[in-house]
Amino acid sequence: MSETATDESPQQGGISDAAVLARVWEEILGVDGVGPDDDFFSLGGDSLLAVQVVGAAKERGLRLTLLDLFKNPTPRGACTGSTTGAQDEAASEELLTPEDRALVPDSAEAAYPATRLQLGLIYENLLSGGRLYIDVVSRAVTLPLDPSVLRQAVDRVTRRHPMLRTRFDLTTFSEPMQVVERDVDVPVELADWSDLGPAAKAERYDEVMRSLHAPFDPEQAPLWRVHAARTGPSEFQLAYAFHHAALDGWSETVLASELIRLYAAVLRGENLELPEPAPAEEYVRLERAALRDDASRRFFEDLGTGPAATLPERGDGTGDPYRKATARIPDDDIRRIQRLGAEWGIPVKSLYLAADCAVQAALAGTTEVTVGLTVSGRPETVGSELTLGLFLNTLPLRLDVAGASWHTAARRAFEAENGLLGHRRFPDAEVRALLDGVPFPTVFNYVHFHVRDRLLDTGLVTADEDLRDTSSFPVRVEVIDDPRGRGRLLEVVVDETRYGRGTAEELLQHVLSALHQMAEGPEEPALAGLLERVGSR
């Protein structure tokens, strides 16, 4: 890290804005001695940490946006390049008409419109008979199971987070609404597996995971359910299911962390004080502002459909529509990729994205592809990282890897994502309408849930985690960065009925090969080795 120094950026009580921002980075990134020219991504920053940085900076009086930070990823650069004309995140738009407000039932504490993505997930869930977008998660908790304490913890976290008391009303109001009930009874089922043998325990476990996956009625709260099974004198298996229209992946890890830490505190007779989350309805205002943004509309219209990343369709209608293939990314490749990202000042996410896009291009026989990139639209306010809800969006990202080295491809991937940042809340459904259909069958996602890292550090859960989810995208490529748990994983989900049996495993191996080639020869042509490998299939 560079030497801490003063600079010529605006002063805040005798301290430069760059120095203030450097202190924010130290706090959120957990590093010391950040200087005015240190690179955010080289220090381990990513998009979700960037949201926290921007929120904390605003609390300290700095006018900063996520785009400022990505375009100028140093304290000095972000401050001097700040877009002072950017719209305020804290919009004051009234979300309910007087007529709709009069329809809010007495049992509810609040109501506000559903977002476009929530409505899309609800629609696809109902169309599938309740099969899609129900997520089930299970973790082993290293504490004795006390049913009354678990009920207290569930009730407290439910009172704390409005989304855990929310239902959707699709017909009563002038538009579909999220209705936050004051009181709900979260179903909690209990079991004792402590005397079962391994085979019987595994059978019972699978039965529970299947039963938890039962459909939810989106118009009935709560949209989550809990199961706990004693597995020994000092451990139990905690599992729960939720409707994806209510929670995204980051929100789920926040829920898990708070629920388990609250349980541990009550069990020990302690009081756990938790910081306040930001209001969830702020995202509704931000999405509505994005819908009114002509610049975003023009951006996606100009993007057009382009060549989508498309696998050869070899399926015969049989097989698993959600075939999942998972592998650990080799440690040597991880170390080299992390070093390259730091040297280039590019988030490691961009390197993984470039590898996936290069593979997709090679398989499609082209040099330019469009993939769906999952992005977060969480408000850039203090406490938003603690808010439970659905803040994701999946938008088309086009990448040209013609004649590019791995270094150049990663740089282009980073620049392409930067181009999306200012439009990250423009709804996917609206993009589809503009482009007359889905512009991509393949989706890429990178996840590193820092909240899970901190939960693992407490020792209250083991590293094992079982997440079962389904979506309408026929191909999903996901990098799971879980250094304190299962490691760095590459996970590929493919609809075998469309693309053929074995395609998930093949795509997994192709992306692993691309990552290895990048790690070994970052200045080598990105497509050369991949085309040779794909051609030998």
Q: Do 229 and 300 lie in a common domain?
A: no
Q: Do 417 and 344 lie in a common domain?
A: yes
Q: What is the pLDDT of residue 307?
A: 67
Measured between alpha carbons, how far is 169 from 112 in angstroms, rounded to an integer? 10
Residue 466 has pLDDT above 50, yes or no: yes
In this prediction, residues 22-38 reach a mean pLDDT of: 83
Measured between alpha carbons, how far is 488 from 446 in angstroms, rounded to an integer? 11
Q: What is the pLDDT of residue 83?
A: 54
What type of residue sits at position 417?
E
Tell the residue number behind the tokens 């179903």, with chain if given.
Answer: 187
| Percent of all residues in the chain with a pLDDT value above 70, rounded to a whole number | 93
Tell me which residue range forms the domain holding 211. 98-268
Count of domains forming the chain: 3
The answer to whether position 483 is within a domain reads: yes
Q: Do 75 and 190 lie in a common domain?
A: no
CA–CA distance from 457 to each of 25, 235, 323 (Å)?
21, 17, 32
In this prediction, residues 452-476 reach a mean pLDDT of: 92
Confidence of residue 336 (pLDDT cuts 50, 70, 90): very high
Q: Do 335 and 435 lie in a common domain?
A: yes
Lowest-confidence pick of 55-69, 113-127, 203-217: 55-69
Please name the residues in contact with 321: beta carbons below 8 A apart, sequence gap of 6 or more.
495, 496, 497, 498
Residue 238 sits in a domain whose CATH number is 3.30.559.10
Q: Do 229 and 341 lie in a common domain?
A: no
Please give the radius of gyration of the chain, using alpha carbons only, rounded to the nearest integer. 23
Of 345, 341, 411, which Cα lies nearest the Cα of 69?
A: 345
Q: Do 125 and 173 lie in a common domain?
A: yes
Q: What is the pLDDT of residue 276?
A: 94
Lowest-confidence pick of 4-8, 309-313, 519-523: 4-8
Q: What is the pLDDT of residue 91?
A: 53
Q: Do 80 and 140 lie in a common domain?
A: no
DSSP sequence for 79-116: HHT--TTSPPSS-----S-HHHHHTS-TTEEEEEEPPH
Q: What is the pLDDT of residue 82?
A: 59
Q: What is the pLDDT of residue 381?
A: 87
Query: pTM of the predicted model, to two decimals?
Result: 0.88
Q: What is the pLDDT of residue 486?
A: 83
Q: For residue range 39-84, list pLDDT tens digits in order.
A: 887 777 777 777 778 888 877 878 777 777 777 788 888 887 655 4
Q: For residue range 252-304, list pLDDT tens digits in order.
A: 999 999 999 999 999 999 999 999 999 999 999 999 999 999 999 999 988 87
Lowest-confidence pick of 198-202, 244-248, 364-368, 410-414: 364-368
Q: Do 329 and 467 lie in a common domain?
A: yes
The answer to whether position 43 is within a domain reads: yes
Q: Do 420 and 523 lie in a common domain?
A: yes
Q: Do 121 and 162 lie in a common domain?
A: yes
Q: What is the pLDDT of residue 81?
A: 64
CA 310 to chain centre: 23
Do strands 188-192 and 224-232 pair parallel, antiparallel, or not at all (unpaired)?
parallel
Q: Do 481 and 365 lie in a common domain?
A: yes
The answer to whether position 275 is within a domain reads: no
Confidence of residue 397 (pLDDT cuts 50, 70, 90): very high
Of 149, 252, 288, 283, which Cα lies nearest the Cα of 466?
A: 252
Q: Which of 38, 55, 84 is the last residue of a domain?
A: 84
Residue 528 has pLDDT above 90, yes or no: no
Lowest-confidence pick of 104-108, 197-201, 267-271, 362-366: 362-366
Which contiguous run of DSSP H or E holds residue 238?
strand 235-243
Contact 452, 260 (CB under 8 A): no
Q: How many residues does the chain have?
A: 537
| Percent of all residues in the chain with a pLDDT value above 90, rounded to a whole number | 72
Measured between alpha carbons, how far is 389 from 239 in angstroms, rounded to an integer? 19
Confidence of residue 31 (pLDDT cuts 50, 70, 90): confident
How high does pLDDT run on average in the chain? 90
Q: Which of 268, 283, 305 is the last residue of a domain?
A: 268
The answer to whether position 197 is within a domain reads: yes
Residue 146 has pLDDT above 70, yes or no: yes
Q: Do 194 and 162 lie in a common domain?
A: yes
Of 408, 367, 380, which Cα lies nearest the Cα of 527?
A: 367
Residue 534 has pLDDT above 80, yes or no: no
Residue 327 sits in a domain whose CATH number is 3.30.559.30
Residue 43 sits in a domain whose CATH number is 1.10.1200.10
The answer to whether position 232 is within a domain reads: yes
Residue 5 has pLDDT above 50, yes or no: no
CA–CA distance from 255 to each of 143, 145, 261, 345 (Å)?
18, 18, 10, 32
